[in-house]
Amino acid sequence: MTKPYPLLFQPEFKERVWGGRALEQFGLNIPEGHIGEGWMIADHPNGTTSVVRGELAGLGLDQVREQFGAEWFGKKGFSEVNGRFPLLIKLLDCNDDLSVQVHPTDDYEGLPKGELGKTEMWYVLDAKPDAKIIYGLKEGVTREDLRKALEDGTVMDSLQEVPVKAGDTFYIPAGTVHALCAGVVVAEIQQNSDTTYRIFDYNRPGLDGKPRELHIEDSLNVTAYEGSGASTMSTDNAVPGKWLELAKSPYFIVEKGIVEGPWNLTTTEDSFTILVMCNGEGTLKWDGGSQAYTSGQCFLLPANLGSYTLEGNSTVLRSYLP
C-alpha cells in the first residue's frame, strides 16, 4: 500500500506572445522561447503534470486521482462537472502585457463541454518598478459603453489600472475584466479551466505573426458590469507562524504564511492542501520522510497525509477547498 506523501510535479510550460525567461529564477528548466506559463499542478486536457519523485514518479495527476480517489484528495477533491482535480496552479511570467480578458462563470451557456468557469487569484511574486495590472471596469461602464469603446478603439479608457508590488494579492471572480501587465511575475490559483475570452490584444501579432482571436460577444456576455466581488489586499501584515487569509471563494481558500523555524501543521480529510513556495527555502517533513524545498516549487499534500512540519525561512501560500 502506498503511503501518502507530498507530491511534486514536472511543470507543463506554455509559450505565450507575452512570455519571457523569468521563470528561470526559480531554477526551472524551461524550454526555448517566450515562456509565459508554468502549469505546476494540472489535470486538464491542455496540460497534465506528472509526479517527479517517490513511489508514484512518472504518474500523471489524473492517474494519481483515479488510483487514490477521495482518500488522498478529500471528499470534495473532484470537479462535479468532469471529475478532474478542481484547481489549476500556475506561475506566470509577464514579460509583456497580457490581453485584456474576462472569464465565464460555471453556468455560462457558451462554455465548451466539460469545461468549468474560471475564478482565480493572483499573488505577486515579483514586480518591476511602476508595474501595474488592469483590474475591472471603471465605475458606471455599461455593456453598451464597452461595446462602443471596442468599436472605436478607446477600450483602455474604460478600464481601471492598479499599481502592483511584490506581496500584493488580487481576487478575480469570473466576470472581472482584467490583464496582467509587463514586468510582473505571479502565482495563480484558479479553477481548473482554460477558458479565456479576449476583449482586446493591443492590435499585436501572435507568435504565428497573425492577430490572436478576440471573443467580443462572449466577453460582453460574461462581464459583470455591476461588479464581480473582486478584492485586493496588501499582505505586509503577515506574521510568522500564523495564516493570513488572502482569498475565500466557493472554489478555494488561499492563505499566506511566513515560516521562521519549525511550524507544525496538519491536513484534514475534507481536502488536499497545496503549498506554493513563494520565496526562501527550507525542509518539508512528514511521517515517513522529508523533502528540501525552494522558491517556485508547488506541493500537493494528500488529505490523509496528517501532520507535517515546515522548517526554514520562507513565504508560503496554502490553498485548500472550502
- Beta carbons within 8 Å of 46's beta carbon, 6+ residues apart: 194
Check 16, 65, 198, 318 and give the catalytic one. 198
pLDDT, residue 234, reads 81
Burial (CB < 10 A; 0-12, 13-18, 19+), residue 301, is: buried
Annotated catalytic, 198? yes
pLDDT, residue 156, reads 96
Which residue ranges in the chain fall short of pLDDT 70? Answer: none
Binding residues: 103, 120, 178
Q: What angle do CA 312, 313, 318 make, to 5 degrees?
A: 90
Alpha helices, DSSP H, located in 191-281: 216-222
Q: What are the structural domains, with CATH classification, of the chain?
A: 9-233 (2.60.120.10), 244-320 (2.60.120.10)
pLDDT, residue 1, reads 83
Burial (CB < 10 A; 0-12, 13-18, 19+), residue 279, is: middle
3-state helix, strand, coil in the chain (%, to 5): 10, 45, 45
What is the per-residue burial (b if ≥16 Cβ within 10 Å, else e) of 237-275?
Answer: ebeeeebbebbebebbbbbbbbbeeebebebeeebbbbb
Binding residues for Zn(2+): 103, 120, 178
d(CA 150, CA 102): 14
Instruction: Please tell me the pTM assigned to this model.
Output: 0.96
24, 95 contact by CB (below 8 A): no
Q: Which three cell numbers stand for residue 242?
A: 500564523
Cell numbers 468549468: residue? 116
d(CA 192, CA 203): 29
